[in-house]
Structure 1
Amino acid sequence: MAVSFDLFGTLVEVTPPDDPARAVATELAARDVPVPSDWERAYAERHVETESGAELSLVEHVVAGLDSRGVAASEAEVRATLLDAFATPVRMKRGARAAVGAAAERGPVGVLSNCSVPGLVPRVLSRSELRADAFDAVVSSVDCGWRKPDERAFERVAARLNVSPSELRHVGDDPDTDGGATAAGATSILLEDVPLTAVPSHLENAE
């Protein structure tokens, strides 16, 4: 048995910016990147087409948004901008450490998180009491290319954990995204049914 955990809302709580476009603009300006006068409109527009279920990197979106207004910025510059724009305090959820520890006692354990900002998931983990090296695999949608509930996201984390999807149990807080594990042949454990503090006993009973 292998266990994957959703990150945001499951293992940790974060408070994203109230106005992401403004937060990004502030960090762009701090790097002397010209901010278009209609940046909020440009940020809201679709610039890159993706297929259903695919994740679009926010780096690619911002670079294309700036380019649509005649502003050039490198991907490295924008990536650093986004990591700072979305840097918020990280609060560990009660029971997170025990749940991850219980999963690790039974087999490989990973993180599977929807996140469009490259590098943000490892950064959040590094700022929590759970370090990335506590997991056998850390998979974000921007890295694997697919957003939960797309089956390919769950298949990817299962492959990284060296198990078949049928051997994977996925713990998450969102029925619409984390519940998609069942379509991939995995088992979903939703926090509305099994609180995080009860996950250790749930895993023990599932053996």
Structure 2
Amino acid sequence: MGVSFDLFGTLVTADRPADPAAAVATELEKRDVTVPDDWADAYAEAHVDAPDGAEVPLPAHVSRALASRGVDYEHNAARRAVVAAFDPTVETRPGALEALEAAREYGPVAICSNCSVPELVGRTLVRSDFERDDFDAIVTSVGCGWRKPAPKIFELTAEELDAAPDELVHVGDDPKADGGIEAVGGIALLLEETPLADVPSRLATLAAQS
């Protein structure tokens, strides 16, 4: 049995900008990038024609938004601005360490996280009570190109753990996104039904049934 955990809202809480467009604009200006007067509109528009369920990395979105307004900029400025704008304060959620420890008793463990910002998952883990080595695999939407609930991200997570998708238990807080594991035959443990404190006993029950 493999177990994957959602990161944000499940294992940790991490603050995010109240106004992402404004936060990115501030960081662009720090890098001498001209911010269009209608930046809020440009940021809100879709600029990448992506397949259903695909992830659009936020730096690519920001780059296209600037280009749509005729703004030129240094090659990496958009990426650096996005990374700086999403620089979170992180807290490990109560019960998260115990849930992870319990999961490791039954097989390999992964993070399976929706995140469109490069480097954010890694920086979040560094600021949490977890170590990178606590996880056998880390699968992010920005890394693999697919967002939960797309089946592909769960299939890739299972593959990273050398498990079949229907052998994967996924723990998360979002019924729509994290519940997508059920479409590939896996089991969803949603925090609204199974709080983190109850995850160890629920995993024990599932392991006994497998």
Q: Which residue of 1 aligns with 2:184?
A: 184
Matched ranges for 1:115-154 at <5 A: 115-154=115-154
* Equivalent position of 1:30 in the other structure: 30
CA distance in 2, matches of 1:168, 1:195: 18
2:42 equivalent to 1:47: no
| Partner in structure 2 of residue 160 of structure 1 | 160
Q: CA deviation at 1:132?
A: 2.3
Relative distance call for 1:127 and 1:39 in structure 2 (3 A) is: same
CA shift for structure 1 position 74: 4.9
**1:98 counterpart residue number:** 98
Unpaired stretches in structure 1, ≥5 consecutive residues: none
Pairing 1:194–2:194 present: yes
Distance across 1 between alignment mates of 2:95 and 2:189 = 15
Structural mapping, 1:46-65, within 5 Å: 46-65=46-65
What is the match of residue 108 of structure 1? 108
Once the 2 structures are TM-superposed, how far is the Cα of residue 133 of structure 1 from its aligned partner?
Answer: 2.4
Give every structure 1 segment of 4 or more consecutive aligned residues whose post-TM-superposition deviation is greater than 2 Å.
72-77
Q: TM-score, normalised by structure 2?
A: 0.95
CA distance in structure 1 between the partners assigned to 2:188 and 2:75 by the alignment = 35
TM-score of the superposed pair, with normalisation by structure 1: 0.96
Aligned residues: 207
AA of the residue aligned to 2:197? T
Q: Is the 8 A contact 1:6 1:113 kept in 2?
A: yes
- Report the alpha carbon displacement of residue 36 of structure 1 after superposing the two structures with TM: 1.4
**Separation in structure 2 between the aligned mates of residue 22 and residue 192 of structure 1, nearest angstrom:** 32
Distance in 1 of aligned mates of 2:75 and 2:114 = 20
Identity of counterpart residues, as a percentage?
53
Whole-angstrom distance in 1 between the partners of 2:171 and 2:133: 19
